[in-house]
Structure 1
Amino acid sequence: MPEPVAGPRTLYDKIWDNHVVRHTDDGTTILYIDRHIIHEVSTPQAFDGLNEAGRRVRRPESTLGTVDHNTPTANREKYTDDESFISDVEARHQVVLMEKNCQDHGVVYFSLADKRQGICHIVGPEQGFTLPGCTVVCGDSHTSTHGAFGAIAFGIGTTEVQHVLATQCSYQRHSKNMKIQIDGTLHPHVSSKDVILHVIGVIGTAGGTGHAIEYCGTTVEAMTMEARMSMCNMSIEAGARCGLVKPDATTYAYIKGRPLAPKGAKWDQAVKFWDSLASDPDAHWDTEVFIKAEDIAPTVTWGTSPQEVAPVTGIVPYPANADTEQRQKAMERMLEYMGLTAGTPIEDIKVDKVFIGSCTNSRIEDLRNAAAVASGRKVAPGVYAMVVPGSGNIKIQAEKEGLDRIFKAAGFDWREAGCSMCLAMNEDKLQPGERCASTSNRNFEGRQGAGGRTHLMSPAMAAAAAITGHITDVRKLPPVPQGSAEPKVEIGEPHPFAPLAHPFSEVVAAAVKAGKQVPAPVHKHADAKTGIPKFGVDGILKGYAAPMDKSNVDTDQVLPKEYLKKISKKGLKEGLFKPMRFDAQTGKEITDFVLNRAPYDHAKILVARYNFGCGSSREHAPWALQDFGFGAFIAESYGEIFYNNSTKNGLLPVVLPKDQVELCMQDANAGLELSIDLPNQVVIRPNGEKFPFQVNPFIKHCLIEGLDDISLTLMHEKEIEAYEEIRKQSYPWLDGNGYLQTDELGRIRVLHEGIADW
């Protein structure tokens, strides 16, 4: 393990340095991963890759599985098995595969019948699986949530999920450091959701690109862990790789006593180490942002990007006031989609549905805040409002406190745990034209259902909208009607963590009962080939370039979320840019859309504007682009996860300055061919003009040679083993506290409720 960099360091720097297995001069780092959380959407292809290559999960005890994205949130009293309970064929197939894959590889899995099941970013912290000073990854962009504990936590694509399962490592490059300092006392009814929406409004959806954001200041220090998690959750919406908060007494109080948290002497040792992680006073920051708490009002989104925010007391903005023509056109497009008129007071916007849930705002504190507003009141006529707890444990605790009775009496639908309407991969979705007050994290076009319109806000604000039928300043909500019960929320003791209620596999369940070793998985295809497609011909790609004259094209636009149910990388081209390519009513091609016209229907290069591929970590987006025939992209900038996912599949995202992108866009509009010479790192225009571009040498080598990450990483097996030995000695609390434990001989044993029984 390389020696840490000398001198003052940030929280991010310290955690990074503690996890470096190998570092090269070009900046490429093999980073060790402490905690890996997996779910049903981003794992089928990853496990298939392991099985075909004859590989096994390197450290099952460092992996935790749950189902959440496309699981039904309907009442589970009659649940017997996944096959009969999940009506959607593709969703059912993913969930069944998840259980089988976890069984075959000895990974602990929380099924729909297990009270611990829930949203991956709720379950990890709730179980004590997420700890300060850790590196945490998951095949979901909102993994940044876990940074609230003082951890480096980031989303990865499916290829990287496979890589982490096989090696417990990830290829990464050190991010720049951004400090967002928020000081002062928040106004009543202003929450951390309002804070992060305000922050994104200040810096924009690409303001944090290339950075790790540390949130600090007196406002952050006063926040609960639930509030910090909500804030860090949406760091990805600001373009950041991750968001962090230094661990402190609030952090430790939340973790202590949880099933997978260290105990006894290990706890004391861990806390002493965690206290040392705070950023040094004279640490270097690449970017600093300072915000006053008193400047933050209850905040909502009005457009189709999390940066399009306004205080609830404000108005829908006028596109004519935009600073550029491109920005003006984008605002006009958003207003058209959202069905809004510039100048309309935010509080005059009516809603059809209300969604309280998601990995952003479905914790017990969120439900208490919403229930305090709903208590003694009624949901407005014509409004459907739903509350979806983040996990089975949260649901149990909420019911113990009587929150469910408050919601039901007010007319809310009380649901089971899951991602639900956040991304509408299940039955919970908006219909075209419906408007939703949502506590989720994204308001992209169609995010909550094709043609649906989403306004992001806090739980209290969402509950207020449900009561009045329109977006409402919760601070001005009329008093509870006379004769109604006074708003009252009984805060009870945390519910004891539920035991394993349903066997996540016959093999592992039997081992739990007998205290025996879990057998290693058996693979049938040990001679399978590995690798990625080589880039172009001898590293040169020439072809027609399709112009997409838009900025902030998110991965939901690239590929709608219903295609995330596919378990194959092939056939996804049918969904590529579907809302733009096909008429939603007739299903017929929209003839003037670029990819429906020759020669662009055979394009190999796509030219876009700023921040292409922002949003979700879904690797299905680059798979769909590749399936269509694209081999490279040219843009001013990219979503960081999209960039990484593309390179891991043999695709090259080229970054050029704005003026050069403009010239490439002109060539593309003229139906001309462009060439990308990767060995010489130049884009060649039809007139012979060359535009040089930068690319990491490691990525360049892998693309030209068609090399996959796993094979390259396993070349450094001895260095990984050496790191793991140092890790065992330096951070003993990271091992031996999971539901799966490894003995001194490397054998895996399964534990019940985190209690060792050797």
Structure 2
Amino acid sequence: MPAPTSAPRTLYDKVFDDHVVYSGEGDTLLYIDRHLVHEVTSPQAFEGLRNAGRKVRRPDCTLVTVDHNIPTVSRKNFKSVSTFIGEVDSRAQVVALEDNVKEFGLTYFGMDDKRQGIVHIIGPEQGFTLPGTTVCCGDSHTSTHGAFGALAFGIGTSEVEHILATQTLPQAKSKNMRINVEGKLPEGVGSKDVVLHIIGVIGTAGGTGAVIEFAGSTIRELSMEARMSICNMSIEGGARAGMIAPDEITFEYLKGRPLSPREGEEWDSAVAYWKTLKTDPGAKYDIEVEIKAEDIIPTITWGTSPQDVVPINGVVPNPADFPESKRGNIVRSLEYMGLTAGTPMEQIKIDKAFFGSCTNGRIEDMRSAARVIIASEKNGGPSKVAEGVYAMIVPGSGLVKQQAEAEGLDVIFKKAGFDWREAGCSMCLGMNPDQLKPGERCASTSNRNFEGRQGAGGRTHLMSPAMVAAAALTGYFTDIRKIMGDRMSEDGGLKITSYFDYLTPVDVAALPVEPTEQTPEGKSPVKAAAAASAGLPKFNVLRGIAAPMWEANIDTDKIIPKQFLKTLLRTGLGSALFWPIRYDVKTGEELPDFVLNKEPWKHSSILVCTGANFGCGSSREHAPWALNDFGIRCILAPSFGDIFKTNCFKNGMLPIELPQADLDTLYEDASAGLELAIDLENQVVVRPEGKDPIPFTVDAFRRHCLINGLDDIGLTLEHRENIEKFEEKRTTVWPWLDGVGYAKKGQKVVAVPLKKNVKKTDW
């Protein structure tokens, strides 16, 4: 009788299955191969470790940099962050990070290191991101790394702490979703147009609860940098992560990078494994979407959500053309954006152009923009940034900047009037000095066009790097097919260099080997860590006033804007909750009509929202912190952003999904200022005046943890033996995932045999 064969599996299934440490009650415990850390979502995590007496379990699996709120001005006179960063809260976060990496022994790319850059650019750049790995970062755009066939997703600060302490993370299995893009892309259409088109088709909640695999002939033809741009914006489609199966294009990109497997036996073994990372024939997807490449033309956003897209030759939409349930959001978006229905997109004038971000801050992005400038001048079009427009270009890393300068791209940009900056997140989220002023309109290569995303009152339109360059030159949104004409496929005569030209070789065999750190008892770091749970407030029955809200897609930027993320604490954010809609952005005064500014809702402990996708957007745990600090411990909505929902549970808060009819009923109760009771033990919402209660369901394990006030780290440490057994297997089967010596200041590690006595922490 033939041996039974396993069921066909998707790419996501395979990577998930290869990382299961323990599967029992509650979520599956996954091992996390790669952890990226930055200054904004980590201070409270390190403080949590310190308070609990815990160490970082695997320093060799963590890479740290600064990016979100550092200045992008010239570093010519840089001496230290203490003297260079003027903004007090930003400086405090960066100084805290530098102190933390020293205390916990982590690899750090600081502002004086040419490898510093945006986390999602330096990871792939260094070969830290590899196929088949699990990758996490306290940033929602961690989905970028899925372009390599990695399972990569954003996390909140509590989960950052969890990975630092245990190198694992409890995770529920997501649904499988495939977006198949077939055909040849028309001229002038790039990866940013592809992903904006996709989000326009599926909506910002289309991928909720799912991991998207991007497939098809169109995707297979893309470069790694183009694939990264597409996976980067998976989160804007509501997905937990985005993935693309690795292939020869992937392997060629990774070969020889500092943290890639060593050439020779190790490289061959890695590639042999990577080639198995593709969906099996016959594997089933829960959701499938088909896209024709020929249907995509240069695309731009018009509203305040990434799903608000229109072709560049289209017009501003009319609210009357949408279902009645969506018109309120459309009207609000148009009012905020200062647009009139029916206006051709190419007649809309801009004030600023921003080029950068983890979506489009790579060398290929810069080359595409430079080609537009060259073609425009050759065709007799504008060769300078339009009068009255400020345009800035921010490389994604120090190495991207160095490569662009070697290719002469900076000369092209500066000659045309662009401001050439240093590496960082910059105006993408405006936590740094690079911001829009109220009412300013920006052509942007970033990933989000939420209200106030690039500055309070600022108006953001998302588009490709080429489209941003064209808009900067003309002063209006412009179809690059018009500005480039028959030069669309020309390379512009650019000098193309290699990333490897900017790494100084060093022999890893000559690197010093330090002894493996042991505790007095000879135990591993996790065995020596405190097993006791820090604990959370218990959630049994919550009684209180419920505040009514109706908007859909209430994003984390709206819940707590970026200017309030510069904190080292988890508390004190309640006064800033819903800042963009609770206060006048110009005067800071309360808006009297906003529900939380009125009695009795000023004292709400429950929030009833009838709009779907509450908490979409960023992974910032500051959103639930702000709600909690205000006093709101329970949110009821039709659906939630995946990361926000998880972050709520991590903070002892209860997100409840209910059918629309039940929410409409509770909305009426809340609008009347009535008190509700959330009975978690019996899983019912108790209504006032003897009205019928409304039942709800919550994951049994999450319910158990909330009722008993249990935190995840304490629970995970009960499985320390499973973690150690998994690590033994990992070192045997995938040895290239252990740290093997990391040279400093951008040196290239030469391919040599791995020394037997090199320890995991030696990089």
TM-score range, shorter chain: over 0.9
Q: 1:468 matched to which residue of 2?
A: 474
Q: 2:593 matched to which residue of 1?
A: 592
Aligned pair partner of 2:421 in 390, 412, 415: 415
Per the TM alignment, residue 640 of structure 1 is displaced from its structure 2 partner at its CA by 0.3
Out of 332-341 and 741-750, give the one that drifted further: 741-750
Q: Is the 8 A contact 1:515 1:749 kept in 2?
A: no
- Aligned partners of 1:500 and 1:653: how far apart in 2? 52
Q: 1:167 matched to which residue of 2?
A: 166
The 1:351–1:30 alpha-carbon spacing in structure 2 relative to 1, beyond 3 Å, is same
CA RMSD, 1 decimal? 2.4
Partner deviation per Cα, 1:35-93 (whole Å, 9 max, x = no partner): 00000001000000000100000000000000000011101111011011100111111
Per the TM alignment, residue 745 of structure 1 is displaced from its structure 2 partner at its CA by 8.9
* Counterpart mapping for 1:553-632 below 5 A: 553-608=554-609, 609-632=611-634
Q: 1:755 matched to which residue of 2?
A: none
Could you say what secondary structure the match of 2:211 adopts? strand
Q: 2:380 matched to which residue of 1?
A: none
Partner deviation per Cα, 1:297-324 (whole Å, 9 max, x = no partner): 0000000000000000100000011112
The 1:556–1:738 alpha-carbon spacing in structure 2 relative to 1, beyond 3 Å, is farther
Normalised TM-score (structure 1): 0.93
Q: 1:754 matched to which residue of 2?
A: none
Aligned pair partner of 1:458 in 454, 464, 467: 464
* Counterpart mapping for 1:24-43 below 5 A: 24=24, 28-43=27-42
1:292 corresponds to 2:292: yes
- Aligned partners of 1:692 and 1:167: how far apart in 2? 36
* Counterpart mapping for 1:240-251 below 5 A: 240-251=239-250
Could you say what secondary structure the match of 2:501 adopts? coil
The 1:647–1:116 alpha-carbon spacing in structure 2 relative to 1, beyond 3 Å, is same
- Aligned partners of 1:252 and 1:748: how far apart in 2? 24
- Aligned partners of 2:29 and 2:105: how far apart in 1? 25
Residue type matched to 1:430 in 2?
L
1:722 corresponds to 2:728: no
1:705 corresponds to 2:708: yes
1:444 corresponds to 2:450: yes
Q: 1:488 matched to which residue of 2?
A: 493
- Aligned partners of 1:5 and 1:56: how far apart in 2? 42
Per the TM alignment, residue 130 of structure 1 is displaced from its structure 2 partner at its CA by 0.2
- Aligned partners of 1:167 and 1:385: how far apart in 2? 44
Q: Is the 8 A contact 1:61 1:738 kept in 2?
A: no
Q: 1:123 matched to which residue of 2?
A: 122
Could you say what secondary structure the match of 2:565 adopts? helix
Q: Is the 8 A contact 1:21 1:719 kept in 2?
A: yes
Q: Is the 8 A contact 2:22 2:29 kept in 1?
A: yes
Could you say what secondary structure the match of 2:358 adopts? coil
Q: 2:157 matched to which residue of 1?
A: 158
- Aligned partners of 1:5 and 1:92: how far apart in 2? 57
Q: Is the 8 A contact 2:513 2:758 kept in 1?
A: no
Could you say what secondary structure the match of 1:316 adopts? coil
Q: Is the 8 A contact 2:536 2:711 kept in 1?
A: no
Per the TM alignment, residue 589 of structure 1 is displaced from its structure 2 partner at its CA by 1.3
Q: Is the 8 A contact 2:371 2:491 kept in 1?
A: no
Out of 91-100 and 41-50, give the one that drifted further: 91-100
Q: 1:341 matched to which residue of 2?
A: 340
Residue type matched to 2:70 in 1?
T
Aligned pair partner of 2:734 in 725, 731, 742: 731
- Aligned partners of 2:313 and 2:733: how far apart in 1? 52
- Aligned partners of 1:14 and 1:583: how far apart in 2? 49
Q: 2:214 matched to which residue of 1?
A: 215
Per the TM alignment, residue 237 of structure 1 is displaced from its structure 2 partner at its CA by 0.2
Could you say what secondary structure the match of 1:716 adopts? helix
Partner deviation per Cα, 1:591-638 (whole Å, 9 max, x = no partner): 121111111111110011211000000000100000000110100000
- Aligned partners of 1:442 and 1:486: how far apart in 2? 29
- Aligned partners of 1:749 and 1:332: how far apart in 2? 55
* Counterpart mapping for 1:502-541 below 5 A: 515-517=513-515, 530-536=533-539, 539-541=540-542
* Counterpart mapping for 1:76-155 below 5 A: 76-155=75-154
Q: 1:505 matched to which residue of 2?
A: none
- Aligned partners of 1:270 and 1:365: how far apart in 2? 27
- Aligned partners of 2:269 and 2:491: how far apart in 1? 47
Per the TM alignment, residue 486 of structure 1 is displaced from its structure 2 partner at its CA by 10
Q: Is the 8 A contact 2:533 2:715 kept in 1?
A: no
Q: 2:363 matched to which residue of 1?
A: 364
Partner deviation per Cα, 1:656-706 (whole Å, 9 max, x = no partner): 000101001110000001111111111122234122222111111111111
Per the TM alignment, residue 739 of structure 1 is displaced from its structure 2 partner at its CA by 2.4
Per the TM alignment, residue 749 of structure 1 is displaced from its structure 2 partner at its CA by 4.7
- Aligned partners of 2:171 and 2:757: how far apart in 1? 31
Per the TM alignment, residue 531 of structure 1 is displaced from its structure 2 partner at its CA by 3.2
- Aligned partners of 1:146 and 1:534: how far apart in 2? 35
Q: Is the 8 A contact 1:5 1:17 kept in 2?
A: no
1:675 corresponds to 2:677: yes
Normalised TM-score (structure 2): 0.92
* Counterpart mapping for 1:312-323 below 5 A: 312-323=312-323
Q: Is the 8 A contact 1:56 1:521 kept in 2?
A: no
- Aligned partners of 2:533 and 2:755: how far apart in 1? 32
- Aligned partners of 1:738 and 1:637: how far apart in 2? 45
Q: Is the 8 A contact 1:301 1:308 kept in 2?
A: yes
- Aligned partners of 1:572 and 1:534: how far apart in 2? 18
Q: Is the 8 A contact 1:535 1:631 kept in 2?
A: no
Could you say what secondary structure the match of 1:542 adopts? strand
Q: 1:201 matched to which residue of 2?
A: 200
The 1:371–1:694 alpha-carbon spacing in structure 2 relative to 1, beyond 3 Å, is same
Could you say what secondary structure the match of 2:176 adopts? strand
The 1:5–1:197 alpha-carbon spacing in structure 2 relative to 1, beyond 3 Å, is farther
1:651 corresponds to 2:656: no
Residue type matched to 2:143 in 1?
S
Residue type matched to 1:683 in 2?
V
Per the TM alignment, residue 736 of structure 1 is displaced from its structure 2 partner at its CA by 3.6
Per the TM alignment, residue 527 of structure 1 is displaced from its structure 2 partner at its CA by 8.0
Per the TM alignment, residue 500 of structure 1 is displaced from its structure 2 partner at its CA by 12
Per the TM alignment, residue 25 of structure 1 is displaced from its structure 2 partner at its CA by 5.5
Aligned length: 730
Could you say what secondary structure the match of 2:197 adopts? helix
The 1:676–1:5 alpha-carbon spacing in structure 2 relative to 1, beyond 3 Å, is farther
Per the TM alignment, residue 437 of structure 1 is displaced from its structure 2 partner at its CA by 0.1
Aligned pair partner of 1:662 in 658, 661, 664: 664
- Aligned partners of 1:319 and 1:174: how far apart in 2? 38
Per the TM alignment, residue 585 of structure 1 is displaced from its structure 2 partner at its CA by 2.6
Per the TM alignment, residue 549 of structure 1 is displaced from its structure 2 partner at its CA by 1.3
- Aligned partners of 1:403 and 1:470: how far apart in 2? 23
The 1:713–1:499 alpha-carbon spacing in structure 2 relative to 1, beyond 3 Å, is farther
Residue type matched to 2:593 in 1?
D
Specify every segment of 5 or more residues in structure 2 that has no aligned partner in the other structure, as ranges: 378-382, 744-748
Residue type matched to 1:348 in 2?
Q
Per the TM alignment, residue 556 of structure 1 is displaced from its structure 2 partner at its CA by 0.3
The 1:132–1:521 alpha-carbon spacing in structure 2 relative to 1, beyond 3 Å, is same
Q: 2:643 matched to which residue of 1?
A: 641
1:382 corresponds to 2:388: yes
- Aligned partners of 1:80 and 1:519: how far apart in 2? 32
